[in-house]
Structure formats: structure tokens, C-alpha cells
Structure 1
Amino acid sequence: MTEKPKKKQQVYTLLVEVGRKEGDGLPKASTGAGVLCYASGVDEAEAVRETVAILKQADLAPLDVTGYGTLEDRLAHGDEIDEDERALMQRALDENAVIVAQMTPFDD
């Protein structure tokens, strides 16, 4: 029996829209938030599943996830990625983790 080669972990940039939930810690007037995350996974689907699970554990209510791909995908698309962002991506990879980089509350 031959072993399948292990898929390499990659880091995906994800923007998660969250709604309101009791205990979510968002400002009273906000209707939800956008949460920018860097998540490791063997594919984007795994990164999304892990991110949604972590945000739910944090008492947030994920509604929608938009994936922006890996660092290579984003560079190919013409995105400029600064050293701070690259460091957060590397941390997500090193720790096999979901890193929340930014949370922006929405006010309607």
C-alpha cells in the first residue's frame, strides 16, 4: 500500500461577514462586522471550515465567507502585501492556526 503524499498546508486570506449574536462583543449600534482572517489549510475549503468553527467558538455569527486565495494567488492578482500582513500569514502557517487580522464593525 502506497501512502498518498501529504498535501502541503497553505495560508488563505478570508473575509468573513458576521451578524449579531448575544455576547459577540461588537458595539451596540453595529449590525455585524467584517472579519479579515488568515487561515491555514490543505485547501481553501478546510481553511473556511476551521475559520467558521473558531469564530463560532468566539461567540460570533458567521454569515458569509469570501476567499481571496493564497499569498501566491493574491500576488498574481496584483495585490500589494506588506511585511506586517506577510508576518501574520507566516504565523498562521507556523501555528497551523486562524489569525484574526482585523475586525470592522458595520453600522447601517
Structure 2
Amino acid sequence: MAKQKPSKQQVYTLVVQVGRHADDGLPEGSTGAALMCYASGVDEAEAVRETVAILKQADLAPLDVSGYGTLAEREAEGHEIEPDERELMQRALDENSVVVAQMTPFFGDQDQP
């Protein structure tokens, strides 16, 4: 099998809205959650596909994904990126993985993103 040449991975910031699913680990009484993720990929579409696949393996039920771009794109838009957020992005890049940085559960009729 021929070794593929390394691709240019970037890290994308994604917010994934998830619904309830058996054994999802979300807090009791919640109707779902929003997950802030940093995902590596050669493009945003790949990052989204990988994130959705991993969340499904974790018994979560992804409903919607919003992309916020790469670190450079976010900086160009004027986003302030904290050092801890940069570390998590670097980890996603180094490990070619998806890092879930934050989970915000939804309860009741709360407005969802």
C-alpha cells in the first residue's frame, strides 16, 4: 500500500447542536446540548464529517453543525482567541482529532442556537 503524502490539515471551530439519545451522557432533564468543537480537516466539510461521525460513536445525536472557520479566519473577523482555546486547537491539529471544548445543555423551552 502506497503511503499517502501528508495533507495540509487545519483546525476548524464548530458548534454542534445535539438532541437526546439513549446513553448520551447529557444531564437528566436536558433536551439536548450545544458542543463547541475544534476539528482538524483538509477543509471544513471534512472536519464536519469527522466531528459528526465521532459524536455518533459517542452515542450523541448531532442535529445541526455551524462552522466558524479556521484560527486565521476567526482572527481576520476580529475574534479574540484565548490562550487556552489556542492550546485546544493545537491539540486537535497535533492529534488529527476532534476536541470537544465546551458543552452547554439545553433545558425545557430554552432558546437553542
5+ residue gaps, structure 2, are 109-113
Give how far 1:50 is off.
0.1
Give how far 1:27 is off.
1.3
Structure 2 residue identity aligned to 1:49: R
* Structure 1 residue runs of 4 or more that deviate by more than 6 Å after TM superposition: none
1:93 aligns with 2:93: yes
3-state SS in 1 of match to 2:30: coil
1:104 aligns with 2:104: yes
Structure 1 residue identity aligned to 2:70: T
Normalization by structure 1: what TM-score?
0.93
Give how far 1:7 is off.
4.1
Give how far 1:28 is off.
1.6
Whole-Å separation in 2 of the counterparts to 1:13 and 1:78: 15
1:28-85 CA-partner distances (Å, limit 9, x unpaired): 2110000000000000000000000000000000000000000001001110001000
Whole-Å separation in 1 of the counterparts to 2:22 and 2:6: 40
Whole-Å separation in 1 of the counterparts to 2:25 and 2:6: 39
3-state SS in 2 of match to 1:27: coil
Query: How many correspondences in the alignment?
Result: 104
Counterpart residue number, 1:18: 18
Whole-Å separation in 1 of the counterparts to 2:26 and 2:51: 18
> Among the aligned pairs, what percent are the same residue?
75
Normalization by structure 2: what TM-score?
0.89
Whole-Å separation in 2 of the counterparts to 1:17 and 1:49: 14
Whole-Å separation in 2 of the counterparts to 1:6 and 1:59: 31
Structure 1 residue identity aligned to 2:80: E
Give how far 1:101 is off.
0.3
